[in-house]
């Protein structure tokens, strides 16, 4: 049976149970308004995060709190690409009739389809690079092969502009140089991967791992590098960053002890998944663990300048950052937060002063949502590894985001009925794309 086409035959109207993520600025609903009643979006994009694929059996995570379905993540990625393509093609068909009527200013989505697609970090798993049984690195070719498995699927997308943000698992698997230049799969002799296939690369055209782009004259998209300050900032088998390691040791006694007992850790890079790093860390101090990182001083100044200019020019802003920025999206533990979330949050709130409409994160596979006093939404995307209801016609988690004059409308699917973004009644089958709306 072809599971990939389930969501094409949608019947049951979606109904949401009263969800706890509703606030005055946020709402979810099962309505699927006819697009003909509304002007076309200013721009739109596809969105998913944490595919974290590995060709390995399902298992629970390090702390035992979640079952990760590593191979099934590829099915979700395939569903996502097919869904994005439906949006893309459906709109391309109208191109001819609209060619002559396009007016300056608002760009017609009907002539553009999906403008870009974001994968918000962690494309393949640490285990593609490291064997935790034998405590040693695997051959580089293994990670390449598994990245190719993912890229072959993403390469089927009609939209050719992909933004891959940087997550911790990128740094376990690739060098920083590769993430900037692009991972060359052909060089590794991956025969199956097409000559002109999509390149996996986290940097901008200019080679920056944090950057801004303007999909519309009144909108700015900012990509942050939350691993600017990270023990892994140099990437696979380049040695740990000693400055970041000292910072981590200062804030985490477990890491400090581990490094004392394993003085070769800078070379072996044996940190994540190796010792009980959360032990005795209270509250938000849970963020001081090896797999998190921070935004460096230069990047923070750059962010400040970008938001200042957006505020002055009355631009609206969307931010993508693999790590979480708002503590209230982390269920109190802080375990998935940026090391210096407080500095980044202060810049977003004080300098941005409401011009940032949404900060999209990943990393915390169960997802999360919070809306602050300024109406900025902090949305944590769910991981395809946790998808549990695909056989009931739930293809997610992923969504298409439509940016309009008066709203940012996320239309998509959650990981299960318990999804925080797109919840549905338990047992309900074949739900249409649900909505999470950010009013502007």
Question: Binding residues for Zn ion, per CB under 5 A?
Answer: 122, 167-168, 363
CB of 202 to Zn ion, least distance (A): 13
CB of 169 to Zn ion, least distance (A): 6
Instruction: Return left, alpha or beta for 159; rule: phi > 0 is left, psi -120 to 50 is alpha, else beta.
Output: beta
| Burial classification of residue 321, based on how many CB atoms lie within 10 Å of its CB (0-12 exposed, 13-18 middle, 19 or more buried) | buried
Measured from the CB atom, the residue of 167 and 412 that comes closer to Zn ion is 167
Measured from the CB atom, the residue of 164 and 417 that comes closer to Zn ion is 164
CB of 382 to Zn ion, least distance (A): 13
CB-based contacts of 21, cutoff 8 Å, min separation 6? 28, 369, 420, 421, 423
Cα 320 to Cα 141, 185, 295, 331, 356, distances in angstroms: 30, 26, 13, 20, 11
Measured from the CB atom, the residue of 167 and 294 that comes closer to Zn ion is 167
CB of 140 to Zn ion, least distance (A): 21
Contact 54, 385 (CB under 8 A): no
Measured from the CB atom, the residue of 166 and 431 that comes closer to Zn ion is 166
Measured from the CB atom, the residue of 157 and 168 that comes closer to Zn ion is 168
Which residues is 356 bridged to in the sheet? 317
For tokens 């076309």, the residue is: 40
Question: Which tokens belong to 327?
Answer: 């503590």
Measured from the CB atom, the residue of 310 and 361 that comes closer to Zn ion is 361
CB-based contacts of 391, cutoff 8 Å, min separation 6? 3
Return the closest-CA partner of residue 151 out of 179, 116, 183: 183
Measured from the CB atom, the residue of 89 and 132 that comes closer to Zn ion is 132
Whats the size of the chain, residue-wise? Answer: 440
Measured from the CB atom, the residue of 172 and 422 that comes closer to Zn ion is 172
CB of 28 to Zn ion, least distance (A): 25
Please list, residue by residue across 190-210, b when 16 or more beta carbons sit within 10 angstroms of its beta carbon and e when fewer do: beebeeebbebbbbeeeeebb
CB of 293 to Zn ion, least distance (A): 10
Measured from the CB atom, the residue of 50 and 435 that comes closer to Zn ion is 50
Which residues is 46 bridged to in the sheet? 117, 400
> Residue 436 belongs to what H/E stretch?
strand 434-439
CB of 348 to Zn ion, least distance (A): 20
Return the closest-CA partner of residue 46 out of 87, 90, 7: 87
CB of 121 to Zn ion, least distance (A): 6
Question: Which tokens belong to 249?
Answer: 């040791």
CB of 385 to Zn ion, least distance (A): 11
By three-state DSSP, how is residue 248 classified? helix
């Amino acid at each position: 049976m072809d599971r990939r086409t389930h969501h094409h035959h949608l019947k049951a109207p979606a109904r949401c149970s009263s969800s706890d993520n509703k606030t005055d600025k946020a709402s979810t609903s099962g309505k699927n308004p006819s697009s003909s009643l509304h002007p076309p979006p200013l721009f739109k994009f596809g969105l998913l995060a944490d595919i974290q694929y590995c060709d390995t059996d399902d298992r629970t995570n390090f702390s035992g709190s979640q079952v990760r379905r590593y191979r099934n993540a590829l099915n979700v990625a395939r569903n996502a690409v097919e869904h994005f393509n439906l949006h893309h093609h459906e709109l391309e068909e109208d191109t001819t009739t609209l060619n002559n009527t396009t007016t300056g200013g608002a760009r017609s989505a009907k002539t553009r389809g999906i403008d870009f697609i974001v994968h918000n970090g962690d494309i393949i798993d640490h285990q593609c690079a490291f064997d935790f049984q034998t405590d040693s690195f695997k051959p580089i070719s293994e990670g390449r092969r598994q990245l190719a498995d993912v890229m072959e699927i993403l390469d089927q997308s009609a939209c050719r502009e992909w933004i891959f943000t940087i997550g911790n698992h990128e740094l376990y698997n690739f060098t920083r140089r590769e993430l900037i230049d692009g991972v060359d799969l052909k060089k590794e002799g991956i025969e199956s991967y097409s000559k002109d296939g999509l390149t996996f690369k986290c940097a901008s055209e200019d080679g920056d791992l944090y950057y801004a782009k303007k999909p519309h004259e009144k909108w700015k998209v900012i990509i942050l590098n939350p691993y600017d300050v990270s023990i892994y900032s140099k990437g696979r088998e380049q040695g740990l960053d000693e400055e970041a390691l000292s910072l981590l040791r200062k804030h985490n006694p477990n890491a400090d002890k581990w490094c004392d007992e394993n003085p070769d850790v800078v070379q072996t890079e044996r940190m994540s998944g190796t010792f009980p790093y959360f032990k005795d860390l209270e509250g938000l101090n849970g963020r001081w663990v090896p797999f998190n990182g921070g935004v460096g001083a230069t990047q923070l100044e750059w962010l400040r300048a970008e938001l200042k200019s957006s505020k002055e020019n009355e631009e609206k802003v969307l931010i993508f950052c693999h790590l979480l920025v708002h503590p209230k999206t982390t269920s109190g533990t802080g375990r998935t937060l940026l090391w210096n979330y407080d500095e980044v949050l202060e810049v977003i709130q004080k300098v941005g002063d409401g011009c940032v409409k949404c900060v999209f994160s990943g990393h915390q596979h169960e997802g999360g949502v919070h809306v602050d006093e300024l109406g900025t939404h902090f949305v944590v995307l769910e991981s395809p590894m946790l998808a549990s209801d695909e056989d009931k016609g739930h293809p997610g988690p992923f969504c298409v985001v439509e940016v309009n004059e008066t709203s940012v409308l996320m239309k998509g699917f959650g990981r299960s009925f318990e999804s925080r973004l797109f919840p549905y009644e338990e047992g309900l089958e074949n739900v249409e794309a649900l909505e999470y709306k950010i009013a502007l």
